[in-house]
Structure 1
């Protein structure tokens, strides 16, 4: 029996049974990710790699004066250079500023990175400060990749201590000519998580999938609702829920939609839902909350800690739904009072 079909008294008598029922219908989509806008297909990435390989004589000489024109005509090569470094865009900007004195702001380099990913084969526009900043970025990258990883303490690991950059140009040249050993590639993937950068870039889209499903259920039932925006401030809430029914001027139901594949993050999200439950009871009795709190969750992160799930079920008085049980969202909550489509 699902907790949203039980009374609070029934849940309190046997909370573990309801924890099991929620766990049984939790699903994880970590194996499949949306590509999202700006996803770079392999042929485009390989084109940038080959352009760099030709310009550097098989990565034998990393000359900024030779590489810069390639970054203009084949801007995807900038993404390839960043991948060789193993840096995020802001990290590359920071190192460039340090090493060249040319200020490359986070805003600039994030915007440049996205612009290239959106149109990887479109020639780079070097108007304004772009030319000087990209030249500085290339110069800093060539310097770092040529020098390789410096010695550090035994209890430290340098970011350039990778199979293709550890010994500078010779490492890059060798791997580009003979291919990387599979075991080393697997090891580096183990350290960095496969697709980590892409997964981070589409994290909002992954979360939006659950919100879109909730919105569809509410719309189909003709329920009036206010879908809030990220980081929006709503009067009466020190943390803004994802949905307010029927409106923020008369909140009677709030819905939090959360997806996580990590149990640590899940704990934080449970705490957030608990806090909404506490706010609903501020100055009220247990049987007369200001509004009903509903949790719609997904991802394997919520299926790890039983105590956290128990807290969530109690905080929402059983109103915990997953993607598999969203069909019961309206009929098994106070939302049914606001249904206008039968």
Structure 2
């Protein structure tokens, strides 16, 4: 469906799905479904791309932190609560290594701190994961300094199974502790042994199997991945010198709510709006299609052209996702692979070279 002729045919077909004559509408829906199926060839999956958040260390950076923790703890032999507290005060980045030993996320550590909730002076504590994240970057804030003794005790007691272990009434063949892994199976003795002798490749692969390959990296970088489409559209608009306004968090842009990602030529009097979406799964694609459909109701009434730039395998969900987006945009749905075709639209040509 490349080129202006195919685009115009798709636009007419999408328009026909809204025909008041039910027979015409239903026939158009079925034809549009087949067109949407054909359109999937333009979708590019991104599951193989790792969005590397700037706060995520690479292997060499992590090794530097790890080596320093090993040195300061004498191979994890100095790991009493007081010794771990001293370590965290003097070298806050150590929290990153201790966190991986227990296998807790930043949010879970913050929850554990809040659950116990009393500092060394007996005062209640409430923290968020940002305190842990700042420590990972080497920042010891006043709040972090206050929780250090408690955090050190939590690390110590998790590994020794004094805290957050599996309740006795639970069937151990069905439920397991997070400490049931090679480096913590026998408490700190296992940590010391693995640090000294290493781990087999089979054990490494098994941990990847149960933990998910690059799961935390992908979770942290989810926002970066969503930006793939948005940044591509922005580069396209800049290359074509098309005047535009890029939506900012908290924007209230008249009747078009939620605000689209780009407004052309400006936010004061937009004539064309572009909504971007990267959907790795069908559920996300379905929700985004609903959002675009709602946006289409307003833009149609205001006489504004709505364009969608979508991508990824989530839009292989056809009837209530990809097909819905194509219908809502009256055929003006594009992907990263045919993004340049936007410049061919009659609605866009007046704005080329205006920035």
- Which TM-score tier does this pair reach, normalised by the shorter chain? 0.7 to 0.9
Instruction: State the TM-score, normalizing by the size of structure 2.
Output: 0.80
1:338 aligns with 2:351: yes
1:237 aligns with 2:256: yes
1:251 aligns with 2:270: yes
Given candidates 98, 107, 111, the residue that maps to 1:81 is 98
Q: Per-residue deviation at 1:247?
A: 2.6
1:314 aligns with 2:327: yes
Distance in 1 separating the partners of 2:211 and 2:72: 29
Distance in 2 separating the partners of 1:306 and 1:183: 43
Contact 2:243 2:354 in 1 (8 A): no
2:133 aligned residue? 113
Distance in 2 separating the partners of 1:114 and 1:334: 48
What SS is found at the alignment partner of 1:65? helix
Instruction: State the TM-score, normalizing by the size of structure 1.
Output: 0.83
Contact 1:260 1:301 in 2 (8 A): yes
What SS is found at the alignment partner of 1:135? helix
1:48 aligns with 2:48: no
Residue 333 and residue 111 in structure 1: after superposition, are their counterparts in 2 closer, same or farther (change >3 A)? farther
What SS is found at the alignment partner of 1:330? helix
Distance in 1 separating the partners of 2:74 and 2:134: 28
1:142 aligns with 2:162: no
Q: Per-residue deviation at 1:261?
A: 1.5
Residue 337 and residue 114 in structure 1: after superposition, are their counterparts in 2 closer, same or farther (change >3 A)? farther
Distance in 2 separating the partners of 1:115 and 1:273: 40
Select between 320-329 and 168-177 the one with higher mean Cα deviation: 168-177
Select between 97-106 and 86-95 the one with higher mean Cα deviation: 97-106
Q: Per-residue deviation at 1:86?
A: 1.9
Residue 16 and residue 305 in structure 1: after superposition, are their counterparts in 2 closer, same or farther (change >3 A)? closer
Distance in 2 separating the partners of 1:279 and 1:6: 24
May I ask how many residue pairs the two structures share in their alignment? Answer: 328
Unaligned runs of 5+ in 2: 15-27, 120-124
Distance in 2 separating the partners of 1:127 and 1:191: 34
Contact 2:131 2:143 in 1 (8 A): no
Select between 328-337 and 257-266 the one with higher mean Cα deviation: 328-337
2:13 aligned residue? 10
Q: Per-residue deviation at 1:79?
A: 0.7
Contact 1:72 1:125 in 2 (8 A): no
CA distances 1:295-337 after superposition (whole Å, capped 9, x unpaired): 1112222224454211111111111111111111121362223
Residue 111 and residue 6 in structure 1: after superposition, are their counterparts in 2 closer, same or farther (change >3 A)? farther
Structure with max Cα Rg = 2
RMSD: 2.9
2:107 aligned residue? 90
Distance in 2 separating the partners of 1:173 and 1:306: 55
Unaligned runs of 5+ in 1: 118-123
Given candidates 70, 78, 83, the residue that maps to 2:87 is 70
Distance in 2 separating the partners of 1:212 and 1:161: 43
Residue 311 and residue 54 in structure 1: after superposition, are their counterparts in 2 closer, same or farther (change >3 A)? same
What SS is found at the alignment partner of 1:255? strand
What SS is found at the alignment partner of 2:310? strand
Q: Per-residue deviation at 1:206?
A: 2.0
What SS is found at the alignment partner of 1:6? helix
Q: Per-residue deviation at 1:239?
A: 1.1
Q: Per-residue deviation at 1:207?
A: 2.1
1:293 aligns with 2:306: yes
1:279 aligns with 2:293: no
